[in-house]
């Protein structure tokens, strides 16, 4: 019984993060095929739009590291979940920012 719980504790963050990554990749692939990826008029706005997903992952990792410092949870567990949740939030930020303001039509 202890071995099964240990294996579940190891695989749970991997399964959650893989599910999030598959969702984001397939949504971006779908947007690419439809030709509805976000386009901004200014170069700076386009660079920000293109950087939102990686920035979300980095911020998620930083929050996870801080979380693992203050709470007795494994660093590997929190960093992997932080990166996955940051990926998801970065994707949502991409979606919101791509619909805002001055877009190419």
Per-domain residue ranges of the chain: 2-99
User: Tens digits of per-residue pLDDT, 2-19?
Assistant: 898 888 888 888 899 999
- Tell me the C-alpha distance between 73 and 63, whole Å: 13
The first and second tokens of residue 56, run together, are 């979300």
2-22 CB burial, b ≥16 within 10 A, e <16: eeeeeeeeeeebeeebeebee
In this prediction the pTM is 0.83
Angle of CA points 45, 47, 51, to nearest 5°: 115
Q: State pLDDT tens for residues 49-74.
A: 888 999 999 999 999 999 999 988 88
């Amino acid at each position: 019984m202890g071995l099964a719980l240990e294996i579940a504790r190891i695989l749970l963050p991997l399964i959650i993060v893989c599910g999030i990554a598959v969702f984001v990749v397939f949504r971006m692939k779908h947007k690419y095929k439809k030709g509805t990826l976000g386009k901004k008029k200014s170069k700076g706005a386009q660079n920000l739009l293109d950087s939102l997903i990686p920035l979300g992952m980095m911020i998620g990792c930083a929050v996870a590291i801080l979380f693992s410092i203050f709470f007795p949870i494994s660093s590997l567990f929190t960093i992997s979940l932080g990166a996955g949740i940051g990926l998801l939030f970065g994707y949502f930020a991409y979606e919101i920012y791509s619909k805002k303001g001055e877009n190419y039509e």
